[in-house]
Amino acid sequence: MKKTFTFLLLLLCGLAEGQVSNLKGEIINENAQPLSSAAAVLLNPADSTLLYFSISGNDGQFEIRNIKKGTYLLQVSLLGHETVYRSVEVPNVSGENIGSVVLVSKIFGINEVTVTGERIPLKIKKDTIEYDAGAYKLKPDAVAEDLVRKLPGIEVDRAGNIKALGEDVNNILVDGKEFFGNDPKVATRNLPADAIEKIQLYDKPTDESKFTGIDDGERNQTMNLILQDKKRRGIFGDISAGAGTDERAQAGAKMYRFTGKSQLALVSMYNNINQLGFSMRDYINFSGGMSAFSSGDGHIMIGGENSFPVNFGQPVYGTGSNGAAGFNFSFSKNDNDRFFMSYLGNGSKRSLSEATTQKNYTPSGSFLVKGQQAETKTDTSQRINFGIRNLIGEKQNIIINGGFSLNSATDEISSLSSSLLGNTPVNALERKSGENVSRLSGNIDASYLLRINGSKTILKISGKTNLTGSNSSTRFYNKTEYFSPSSLESGNQFYDISTSGGTYSGNISLTQKITRQSFIDLSFGLNYSDEQLNRNQGDIENGLISDTSLSPEFNKTDISFRPGLKWKLVTSKTSLTVSLLSITGEYNSFLNNDDGLTKKYSFISPGASIEYNYRSGRRLMFNYSALANTPAAMQLLPVVNNLNPLSLIYGNRDLKPEYIHNSRLTWWLFDQFSFTTLLTSINLRYAKDKTGYSRTIGEDLRQVISLVNVKSDIATSGTIDFTTPVRPLGITLNLVIDESLDRGLDYINNVENVNNSLTQRFSLTISNRKKERWDIETGTALTLVNSKYSVQKSLNDSYLDIAWFTEARYNPCKSLSIMSSADITKYSSGSFNESRLIPLVNTEISYNFLKNKRGILTLSGVDLLNRNTGIIRLSELNTLTERRSAILGRYIILSFKYRLNKLGDNTGGIDIKVNRR
């Protein structure tokens, strides 16, 4: 630990060393009036790359701090004004204040500097920030994500998630057009950085508000990657291949063709090193949907609560091979008339082994369930998304979005588990199963908009359809042994399920402008859904079980009427919305063609939101909504699911709809001068008649689980996310504090059990600000979980996990890049049997050669200590679970990438001549 702190201290001292000075001044127009939001930038005279910058305030004043001694080119720019250049020495012999800089709207001579091929690293155009990509130094094989990491005011975490000006960026455009269904990481992790000329950052209004001219206040933080003109005149991309120890291999190819009206992108990859698809969304589809990440109680479990992100932000368990391919195509006559479509396909075959320890709580004590499982799984996933924007004349507009997906999977599982009271075995289950699943789904939504009365009135007619169908065939062998008294049960059965369903909704609304800044919206909606479930269960030797209670036909229909009223006020600083929706309907369930059971429901669904921008970079937001969820057919099915004979599950036809209230209060601060951001939020969710569980646990520890409505379920959380540069040290700090408290309710042997789970997470990340040669990031995270159970207060649990990571990249020259990273996680024993320390060390060396640096040779070493293990810890209503999974171990791989059609050097074409008197 002393060595670690010594290393960090030396690093900070090295970053801080050297004489530094400040530079300040005033930016005015030709009438001596102050100009705000003008960019004052210090450039490197040798290659015009950005070194330091500041932005003028409302009084026109700017200040650039902590500048190292040297000669710089000062560039002062503002949209609509002539850019001014000056050569400056730091420290300045006449003092820090260089006086007034005058920007005029016409071209004039500057005797100090002559500029050819002007480049401005940073521009502010009203609500848009525009970055010049050529002003930032990158390695030759950099992708868009590497470029985005260097932009002032933008943060990219290790999983590739982007936060700009303190807000998440979930929408990435290429030349203003959709790219692979707006999935951000597909663009940022695949497009080469040297194809990008500029990056724009702005709040994108909805397509509807752009057409209607009525500002609905809805915004989406958007990043637009603008390509270089030369990249629109040919084909570019790359091909790669690699091989390594333990028969590890990878290969990939990317090809792009962009013109002014069309875009075409092709991507493909194959590997057996756990690189899955192109984005998190594809990882989910490719793994069989969100159900693949769920526990038996439906809780999402993507990675450990405290592990640092790997690949797409979560550990990848097991070993196997993975392949993926996709294309993106769009064509547009103009912004209001375009068509776009994307396809992504994934395939995987993997093997997984894991060990699970689960502590279960009962009113009289607790018992353990220990298990071992081996699994072999194959997955394929194919997804198509498309969209149409068609403006008919000036008064009509059609907006269409849709998609289709096809998934299939096979799953072979062999497991052995036992339940123990203390150290005494009570039962044991040996299980072998095989499953084949296929799913097909499609969705489409369309809107028709008509402007009436000079755009003061808007008629909107919209509809949405979702269709799904699936078939699963399961073969399973169970051998169950009970030890007191001794007995043995076995069964060799099949379990086939087919489902189909559709959801159809239509809505008509009339929006009327009341004043220039407010409008009212009247709407009426109709929703209808139909779910069908057919199950056949039987003995493999004797055929279908004649008892229809185990082979049911079940159907659920749901219809609801939804009239609504909304009022909205939008000003330059405030957006206020108040809405009221009435939901009235009924759902019917039919079991084996009986007369059916009808449940009627009626809810008032209020909503309110306010966004107040009380100062530049200061925003206060509040949102509240209420919604109702009716139970799904699988939850209503009252027929036992006995796939696991030690855990029998029953649905309930008498389930009520859940009524859920959500509220969120957010305070957001962004200082454009220091690039300090602060995001704080408080969330509260209250659910009435939440669908929960009633468990009956027998003396033999066999569980019978029934779905029931519990009276309440409460979840609260709070977040503080603070980022600021520390200029004297040359670093950026990011501090995140998360607090969450979940209060859940279930029943155990007819006794109410209240579980309060408090999770506290603290993380601190430090990174260097100037990344010309060194790019260093290090940090730590602590996670403390406390769980309290009303059924057994003496069995309350807590555990602490600590993680530390560092990643350093060094570019000693344009041809060489060296990267090393370490992730160390300590899982404390706490309520578990033992603590674990897992160090993960990786390294990578890349060398660029051939003409125009078109060849890249990379040597990578992963998990060099061969210590990686996947651990998940999860606290639920009456259980505490630890799952340990095998994970890909140490390997070394050598790969080669060849870049297609790299056009010229990316120097930016600036010729600067300084005339000294």
Q: Is the pLDDT of residue 780 over 60?
A: yes
Question: Can you give the pLDDT at residue 78?
Answer: 84
Note the pLDDT of residue 158: 62
What global pTM score does this model have? 0.75
Tens digits of residue pLDDT in 787-840: 888 877 766 777 788 888 898 988 888 788 898 988 888 877 666 666 778 888
pLDDT of 131 reads 84
Whole-number pLDDT of residue 181: 63
pLDDT score, position 91: 87
Q: Evaluate whether 783 touches 801 at the Cβ level (below 8 Å).
A: yes
Buried b / exposed e over 299-323, threshold 16 CB at 10 Å, is eebbbbbbbbbbbbbbbbbbbbebb
Percentage of the chain with pLDDT > 90?
A: 30
What are the tens digits of pLDDT across the range 472-514? 999 989 999 999 889 998 888 888 999 999 999 999 999 998 9
pLDDT band (50, 70, 90) for residue 463: very high
In the 8-state DSSP scheme, what is residue 143?
B
- Mean pLDDT, residues 165-193 taken together: 76
pLDDT in tens, 543-568: 665 555 788 999 999 999 999 999 99
| Range 175-180 average pLDDT | 79
Confidence of residue 217 (pLDDT cuts 50, 70, 90): low
Q: Which helix (H) or strand (E) element contains residue 876? A: none
Confidence of residue 2 (pLDDT cuts 50, 70, 90): very low
Confidence check: pLDDT of 309 > 70: no
**Res 912 pLDDT > 50:** no
Query: With bands split at pLDDT 50, 70 and 90, how would you rate the model's confidence at 313?
Result: very low
Of 270 and 82, the one with more pLDDT: 270
Residue 423 pLDDT grade (very low, low, confident, very high; cuts 50, 70, 90): confident
Work out the mean pLDDT of the chain and round it to a whole number. Answer: 81
Cα–Cα distance for residue pair 134/198, rounded to 1 Å: 8
* For range 79-96, the mean pLDDT: 85
Alpha-carbon gap, residue 166 to 669, rounded angstroms? 8
Whether 707 contacts 838, CB under 8 Å: no
Euclidean distance between CA atoms 306 and 545, whole angstroms: 47
pLDDT category at 276 given cuts 50, 70, 90 is low
Q: Is the pLDDT of residue 115 over 70?
A: no
Share of residues in the chain with pLDDT > 70 (%): 85
Question: How many other β-carbons are positioned within 10 Å of the β-carbon of residue 430?
Answer: 15
Q: Which residue has the higher pLDDT, 12 or 817?
A: 817
pLDDT score of 173 more than 60: yes
pLDDT band of residue 731 (cuts 50, 70, 90) is confident
Query: Is the pLDDT at 319 greater than 90, yes or no?
Result: no
Query: Span 350-356, mean pLDDT?
Result: 88
Check residues 423 and 578 and name the one with the higher pLDDT: 578
Asked if 433 and 380 count as a contact pair (C-beta separation under 8 A), the reply is no
Residue 384 has pLDDT above 50, yes or no: yes
User: Between the ranges 484-493, 769-778, 905-914, where is the mean pLDDT highest?
Assistant: 484-493
The answer to whether residue 208 scores a pLDDT higher than 90 is: no
Q: Provide CB contacts within 8 A for 771, sequence distance 6+.
A: 137, 149, 150
Query: How far is the C-alpha of 26 from the C-alpha of 540, rounded, in Å?
Result: 85
Residue 866: its pLDDT value, please? 85
Q: Which position has the higher pLDDT, 5 or 309? A: 5
Query: Which residue would you say has higher pLDDT here, 280 or 851?
Result: 851
State residue 113's pLDDT score: 42
Strand partners, 396: 392, 450
pLDDT at residue number 848 = 87
pLDDT digits (tens, 9 = 90+) for 759-771: 898 989 898 877 7
Q: Mean per-residue pLDDT for 877-899?
A: 85
pLDDT tens string 655-691:
999 999 999 998 988 776 677 888 888 999 999 999 9
Q: How confident is the model at residue 119 (pLDDT cuts 50, 70, 90)?
A: low
pLDDT at 229: 81
Closest CA to 203 of 216, 215, 185, 218: 218
Distance (Å) of CA 86 to CA 78, 450, 911, 913, 916: 15, 54, 14, 11, 11
pLDDT at 891: 92
Q: Which pLDDT score, from 0 to 100, does residue 408 have?
A: 94
According to the model, what pLDDT value does residue 555 have? Answer: 95
Helix (H, G, I), strand (E, B) or coil at 413: strand
Tokens of 530: 């139909």
Is the pLDDT confidence value at 12 over 50? no
At residue 254, does pLDDT exceed 80?
A: yes
111 against 606, higher pLDDT: 606
Four-residue CA torsion sign, 177, 179, 183, 188: negative
Supply the pLDDT for residue 19: 65
